[in-house]
């Protein structure tokens, strides 16, 4: 992910502080957050949306009802989208305008993975728009360059684990904002 022009305070020294994250390849790391309510998931999404640079591609993963759409709503709110964010399940993509263009895809009803080109996924990735893909794990390895992968898990009626995989600078900023 390119360094954030919207948040110049995020510098390389954050990597030191981020030493506690579980390290992954490509200078990425993982942090597991927990949410105890839908409102908390929304606010975690809003924080993420407020921190990411232009062109960020999100993959939101986890089963039906885990909270992907709710997290996407939060991300949109954090990006200054004022329209109502709905689940794009039936039409597969919605476009919003906040401080940046935002494309919200939902691949759940996509019949064949190769149909993603037809719904404009690759065109949406232009280095400026923020692209949020629910069910991004339906894509094949290498089809999409994902900057922030979020894997959600139901841990109780109102509890969710939200594991965020991203560059360490973003994770450090996320933790500071929590
Ligand atoms: N902590 C939580 N975070 C997110 N959703 C939660 C939480 N607790 C309960 N829920 C409920 O789970 C459902 C999540 O729905 P949705 O976001 O549409 O899921 P998905 O898009 O993953 O299918 C909502 O009804 C929401 O109220
Ligand atoms: Mg959904």
Ligand 2 center to residue 17 CA distance, Å? 33
Kindly identify the ligand whose nearest atom is closest to the C-alpha of 159: 1
Residue-level pLDDT at 114: 86
Residue with the larger pLDDT of the pair 26 and 57: 57
Question: Position of tokens 């510098």?
Answer: 11
Does any domain span residue 70?
A: yes
Q: Which domain holds residue 59?
A: 24-177
Kindly identify the ligand whose nearest atom is closest to the C-alpha of 94: 2
Does any domain span residue 55?
A: yes
Please state the domain count of the chain. 1
d(CA 48, CA 53): 10
Does any domain span residue 99?
A: yes
Does any domain span residue 137?
A: yes
What is the 3-state secondary structure of 72-96? HHHHHHHCCCCCCCCCCCCCCEEEE
Ligand 1 pocket, mutate which of 65, 89, 109, 133 (most atoms under 8 A from CB): 65
Which of 124-145 are b and which e, b meaning 16 or more Cβ less than 10 Å from the residue's Cβ? bbeeebbbbbbbbeebeeeebe
Kindly identify the ligand whose nearest atom is closest to the C-alpha of 62: 1
Does any domain span residue 15?
A: no
Q: Is the pLDDT of residue 10 over 90?
A: no
Residue-level pLDDT at 86: 81
Does any domain span residue 33?
A: yes
Q: Is the pLDDT of residue 33 over 50?
A: yes
- Mutual orientation of helices 38-51 and 168-177 as an angle, nearest 10°? 130
d(CA 78, CA 81): 7
What does the pLDDT look like over 117-140, one tens digit per residue?
999 999 999 999 999 999 999 999
Percent of the chain surpassing pLDDT 90 = 74
Looking at residue 165, which CATH number applies to its domain?
3.40.50.300
Average pLDDT on 142-146 reads: 95
Average pLDDT on 70-95 reads: 88
Does any domain span residue 39?
A: yes
d(CA 110, CA 92): 8
Report yes or no: 173 and 51 within 8 Å, Cβ to Cβ. yes
Q: Is the pLDDT of residue 15 over 60?
A: no
What does the pLDDT look like over 54-74, one tens digit per residue?
999 999 999 999 999 999 999
d(CA 122, CA 131): 10
Ligand 2 center to residue 13 CA distance, Å? 36
Map residue 123 onto helix, strand or coil: helix
Does any domain span residue 11?
A: no
What does the pLDDT look like over 95-109, one tens digit per residue?
999 999 999 999 998
Nearest Cα residue to 89 out of 46, 142, 135 = 135
Q: Which residues line ligand 1 (CB under 6 A)?
A: 35, 37-38, 40-41, 64-70, 87, 134, 158-160
């Amino acid at each position: 992910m390119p360094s954030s022009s919207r948040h110049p305070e995020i510098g390389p020294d954050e990597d030191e502080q981020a030493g506690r994250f579980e390290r992954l390849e490509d200078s990425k790391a993982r942090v597991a957050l927990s949410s105890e309510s839908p409102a908390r998931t929304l606010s975690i999404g809003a924080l993420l949306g407020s921190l990411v640079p232009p062109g960020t591609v999100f993959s939101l993963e986890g089963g039906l009802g885990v909270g992907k759409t709710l997290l996407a709503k939060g991300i949109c709110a954090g990006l200054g989208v004022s329209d109502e964010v709905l689940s794009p399940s039936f039409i597969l993509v919605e476009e919003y305008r906040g401080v940046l263009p935002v494309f919200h895809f939902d691949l759940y009803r996509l019949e064949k993975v190769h149909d993603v080109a037809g719904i404009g996924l690759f065109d949406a990735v232009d280095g400026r728009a923020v692209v949020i893909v629910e069910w991004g794990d339906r894509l094949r390895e290498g089809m999409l360059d994902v900057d922030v992968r979020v894997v959600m898990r139901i841990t109780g009626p109102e509890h969710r684990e939200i594991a965020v995989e991203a560059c360490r600078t973003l994770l450090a900023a996320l933790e500071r904002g929590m």
